[in-house]
Amino acid sequence: MISFVFATYNNTGLSEDVTATIEEDPKTITATFPIETNVTALIPTIEVSGSVTVSPSGSQDFSSAVTYTVTAEDESTVAYTANITVETSDEKQVLSFVFGATDNDALSNDITTTINEADKSISASVPYGTAITSLTPTIEVSALATVSPTGSQDLSSWNTANVTFCEDFSPFLTTDQLPALGCFE
């Protein structure tokens, strides 16, 4: 096998060609694709020498290993295993964190928080006397990241909010006339 390329002209989901690495010993083909690439229907362009054939041909599901068999004119065969990986995201940002009045009966106006990426904290001021035992934030995070917990939160206790793929954020809630109550889950 001379080359194994996933060309954009055969794979509309690709923005650039992806050239695989072929290792003769142990007969492997490896390639890495950008984040969010759908690898379930890729068509490789395979270049071989001489009068050999390669199977399978056409579109393949590379979400698990695919074995390619190279058959020579004398009918001898050799198998190559293609292993494809997709890059993962290590983005870990909370982009916005808002307590909306429409989602929280205790609020008459939206409360926009301050996100400090340097120390991984989120802070907000709410009017004095606001019931903070059941507030629901609307949270936007980096692409491919998730946040937990979701839904209504009791912000009167000390806990930590975790964003998947990232370090802990330590949000703080303060009232207009009280000191910080701490971080929440």
| Residue 110 belongs to domain with CATH number | 2.60.40.2340
Residues 15 and 50 in one domain: yes
The average confidence (pLDDT) of the chain is 81
Residue 127 lies in a domain: yes
- 46 and 78 together in one domain: yes
Which one is predicted more confidently, 151 or 7?
7
For residues 106 and 71, state if they share a domain.
no
pLDDT of residue 50: 87
Distance CA 83, CA 42 (A): 13
Task: State the Cα–Cα distance between residues 177 and 119, nearest whole angstrom.
Answer: 24
The answer to whether position 182 is within a domain reads no
Q: What pLDDT was estimated at residue 130?
A: 78
Among residues 9, 8, 57, which one has the least CA distance to residue 37?
8
pLDDT band at 174 (very low <50, low <70, confident <90, very high): very low
- Which of 47-56, 94-103, 148-157 has the least mean pLDDT? 148-157
Indicate the residue among 42, 68, 86 that finishes a domain. 86
**Residue 132 banded pLDDT, cuts 50, 70, 90:** confident
Find out whether the peptide bond into 179 is cis, omega within 30 degrees of 0.
no
Q: Which of 86, 103, 138 is the last residue of a domain?
A: 86
Domain extent for 61: 3-86
Last residue of a domain, one of 86, 110, 126: 86
pLDDT tens digits along 62-92: 999 999 999 999 999 999 999 999 988 777 7
- Amino acid occupying residue 60: Q
CB 183 within 8 A of CB 170: yes
The pLDDT score that the predictor gives to residue 85 is: 95
The answer to whether residue 185 sits within a structural domain is no
Strand partners, 54: 70
Residue 98 sits in the same domain as residue 162 = yes
| Residue 130 · residue 111 · CB < 8 Å | no
User: Do 149 and 82 belong together in one domain?
Assistant: no
Please tell me whether residues 31 and 81 are part of one structural domain.
Answer: yes
pLDDT confidence tier of residue 178, bands split at 50, 70 and 90: very low
- How many CA atoms within 13 Å lie on the side-chain side of 38? 6
Say how many domains are in the chain.
2
What's CA 115's distance to the chain center, in Å?
21
- Please give the Cα distance from 185 to 2 (Å, whole number): 54
Whether 21 is in a domain gets the answer: yes
Give the whole-number percent of the chain exceeding pLDDT 90: 46
- pLDDT over threshold 90, residue 14: yes
- The confidence score (pLDDT) of residue 157 equals 58
Within-domain flag for 117? yes
Answer yes or no: do 60 and 109 share one domain: no
